[in-house]
Amino acid sequence: MDVNSRATAFLLAATISLVTTAFLSLIEGTSSVALLVAGAISFSCTFLLCYLTLEFLIFKEIKDIHEVLNELKNDESFEDEIAQDSRAQINPLKRINQKIKSFASNKQAEIEALKRTNRFRREFLADVSHELKTPIFAAQGFIYTLLEGAVDDKRIRMKFLKKAAKSLDGLDRLVKDLLTVSQMEIGAITMQKEIFDIRALAFEVLDQLERKASKQGTNIVIDEENKNPVFVIADKMRINQVITNLLENAIKYGREIEGFVQISFRNKEDFIEVSVRDNGAGIPQEHLNRVFERFFMVDKSRNKNTSKKGSGLGLSIVKHIIEAHGSEIQVESKLGIGTVFTFYLEKALKEKVKKESVEEI
C-alpha cells in the first residue's frame, strides 16, 4: 500500500478514537450513545487535523521535492529501482532519500566523465600539435634551406625536395587518419557488408607488404592448418585496412632479425576468429588497455627508431572498424615473447556463399 496523507490520517484518527472510546467505557454510567458520540467526535477532529497537517505541511512539500528531482534527473532507469524496492513504495521519505542518493551518484559520475573528457581533450590537442609539428617543421627546414641558396646545387636540390615531399606525404596520411577516426566516432562512416574470402584478402595484403617485410627482415605467413576459403560477411575494404594496419604494426615494431608474423583463421560456430601474432618485444601489461587510444605509443616496449614512427592512429582505426561490425578486438602480449591481436567477424553460411556465387555467374 502506498502511503498518503489521507490513509495516514485515517489510521491515526481510528487509533485515537478507539483509545478514547475504550478509556470512557471504563467510567461507570457512561452510556453507549455517549461512547459513540465521543468516538465519532475524536475520530473526526483527529482525522481533519492530521489530514490537513500531513497534506499541506509534509506530503505537499515531499511531492514538490519529487517533482524537482524528476525534472533535474530525467533518468527513467531510477523508476525501475524504486519499483523493485517495496520499502520505497511504502515510505515516501525513503523514496526521496533514494532519489537524492541516485541523483547525487549520477551527477558525480557526470562530473568524473567531464573531467576525463577534459583531460583527454588536453592530451589530444597536445598530441595532434606534436604530430603535425614534426612533418611541417621538417618540410619547412628543407624548403627554406633551398631558398637560401642550396637550390643551385642540383644534387642537394633533389635530395631536399624528396625529403620535403616525404614529410608532406606523412602529414597527408596523418590528416586522413584523423579524418577517418573522427568520422567513425560520430558514425558518419557506415560498413558496406558483403560476402568474401578473408583468407584470399589476407594473401592480397601480404603481397602488398612483402617488400616492406623483407626489408625489415620479417617473415609473414598465413596459417596452413586449413587451406579452404574462409567466407565472412563484412566490409571488404575496411577489413583490408584492419589487416594492413595490424601487419604494418607487427612489421614496424617486430624483431629486426628473425622477425615472424602469423595470420590465423579459426572457424567457430557463428563467427570467424582472426588473429595476427608476432614475436616482437611485447607490450607491458599496464599499457594493454591503452594501445587502442589515439596517439598512444608504448616507447618502452616498442622500437624507438623515429624513422619507423607512425601516426599513432592505426590501432584506433582498427578498433573503430571492428566495433562498427558489431564485434570486438582483443590484445594479449608478453614481454620478450610477442603480441597477438584477435578479432571476430560474422561467418557466411554455405547457403549464402552458394547463392552469392550463382548471382555472380
- Over residues 113-147, the pLDDT tens digits come to 888 777 767 776 777 777 788 788 888 888 888 88
Does 299 or 275 have the greater pLDDT score?
Answer: 275
Which three cell numbers mark 83? 519499483
1: pLDDT confidence band, cut at 50, 70 and 90?
A: very low
**At 76, which amino acid appears?**
E
- Provide the pLDDT for residue 169: 84
- Provide the pLDDT for residue 354: 53
Distance of alpha carbon 240 from alpha carbon 207, whole angstroms: 12
Q: Which of 237, 199, 205 is nearest to 220 (CA)?
A: 205
- Provide the pLDDT for residue 112: 86
Distance of alpha carbon 94 from alpha carbon 62, whole angstroms: 11
Ranges 78-87, 228-237, 266-275, 333-342: which has the least confidence = 78-87
- Provide the pLDDT for residue 54: 76
- Provide the pLDDT for residue 76: 46
Highest mean pLDDT among 31-35, 100-104, 113-117, 225-229: 31-35
Ranges 88-102, 202-216, 248-262: which has the least confidence = 88-102
Does 29 or 236 have the greater pLDDT score?
Answer: 236
- Residue-averaged pLDDT of the chain: 80
* Predicted confidence (pLDDT) at residue 341 exceeds the cutoff of 60: yes
- Provide the pLDDT for residue 3: 58
298: pLDDT confidence band, cut at 50, 70 and 90?
A: low
Sign of the CA dihedral 112, 113, 117, 123?
A: positive
Distance of alpha carbon 17 from alpha carbon 43, whole angstroms: 5
Distance of alpha carbon 90 from alpha carbon 192, whole angstroms: 54
**At 71, which amino acid appears?**
E
77: pLDDT confidence band, cut at 50, 70 and 90?
A: very low
- Provide the pLDDT for residue 231: 93
Which three cell numbers mark 276? 595476427
- Provide the pLDDT for residue 227: 79
Distance of alpha carbon 276 from alpha carbon 330, whole angstroms: 11
- CA–CA–CA angle 57, 60, 61 (5° rounding): 75
Ranges 67-71, 89-93, 174-178, 234-238: which has the least confidence = 89-93
* Predicted confidence (pLDDT) at residue 69 exceeds the cutoff of 60: yes
- Provide the pLDDT for residue 163: 87
Q: What percent of the chain has pLDDT over 90?
A: 19
Average pLDDT over residues 157-163: 87
Average pLDDT over residues 243-260: 86
- Provide the pLDDT for residue 356: 55
- Provide the pLDDT for residue 321: 92
- Provide the pLDDT for residue 179: 80
